[in-house]
Chain A
Amino acid sequence: MSANPNGTAPASAPLLQVEAISCRFGGLLALDRVSLELAEGEIFGLIGPNGAGKTTLFNVISGLTRPSGGRCLWRGRPTTGLGACGINRLGIARTFQNLRLFESLSVRENVLVGLHHAARAPMVGALVGSGPFRGHQGRLEAQALELLALLELDALAQQRAGDLPYGDRRRLEIARALATAPRLLLLDEPAAGMNPAEKDDLRRLIGRIRDHFALTVLIIEHHVPLMMRLCQRLAVLNFGERIALGSPAEVRRDPRVIEAYLGGQT
Chain B
Amino acid sequence: MDAALLEQMLLGALLALSVYLPLRCGQLSLATPGFYAVGGYVAALLSTGVPAFAGTGATSPLPALLVEMALGGSLAGLIALAIGRPVLRLRGIYLAIATIALVEILRVLNLNLPFTGGAMGIFGIPQPFAHPEGYVLFTLVLLAVACWLCQRLEVLRLGRAMLAIRDDELAAASVGIDTPRTKLIAFVASAVLAGVTGALAAHFLNAWNARVGSFDASITTLAFVVFGGSRFWLGPVLGGLALTALPELLRPVGDLRLILFGGVILLGPLFFPQGLVTAERLRWLGALLGRGRGRRKPLAP
Interface residues in chain A, defined as those with a beta carbon under 8 Å from any beta carbon in chain B: 62-64, 83-85, 87-89, 93-94, 96, 100-106, 108-109, 112-114, 116-118, 121, 126-127, 129, 137, 176-177, 179-180
Contacts and interface: CB of A to CB of B under 8 A. Distances in A.
A105 B163 contact: yes
B299 interface: no
Given A104-B279, A113-B164, 6 more contacts: A64-B170, A88-B174, A103-B167, A109-B301, A117-B176, A126-B157
Given A64-B170, A105-B163, A127 B152 contact: yes
Given A112-B160, A116-B157, A117-B157, A105 B167 contact: yes
6 contacts: A84-B174, A103-B168, A104-B231, A113-B160, A113-B161, A114-B176
A94 B176 CA distance: 11
B171 interface: yes
A104 B155 contact: no
The 10 nearest A-B residue pairs measured at CB: A116-B157, A117-B176, A84-B173, A100-B171, A88-B176, A102-B167, A84-B174, A114-B175, A85-B173, A113-B164
Given A100-B170, A126-B156, A176 B175 contact: yes
A224 to B, nearest CB: 27
Contacts of B156: 121, 126-127
B179 A85 contact: yes
B286 to A, nearest CB: 13
Interface of B: 149, 152, 155-157, 160-161, 163-164, 166-168, 170-179, 231, 279, 301
Given A116-B160, A116-B161, A104 B167 contact: yes
Contact of B175 (A121, A129, A177): A177
Contacts of A112: 160
B171 A105 contact: no
A102 B164 contact: yes
A102 B161 contact: no
Contacts of B173: 64, 83-85, 88
B163 A104 contact: yes
Contacts of B177: 85, 113, 117
Given A88-B176, A106-B301, A118-B176, A96 B171 contact: yes
A102 B168 contact: yes
Nearest to A83: B173
A118 B164 CA distance: 15
A92 to B, nearest CB: 9
Nearest to B279: A104
Contacts of A103: 167-168
Contacts of B168: 100-103
A234 B231 CA distance: 45
A106 B156 CA distance: 15
Contacts of B279: 104
User: Which of A102, A118, A121 is most buried by chain B, counting CB atoms within 10 A of its CB?
Assistant: A102
A89 B178 CA distance: 10
Contact of B174 (A94, A116, A121, A137): A94
A137 B160 CA distance: 13
B292 to A, nearest CB: 22
A64 B174 contact: yes
Contacts of A63: 174
Contacts of A109: 160, 163, 301
A116 B167 CA distance: 17
A208 B163 CA distance: 31
Contacts of B164: 102, 105, 113
B171 A137 contact: no
B293 to A, nearest CB: 21
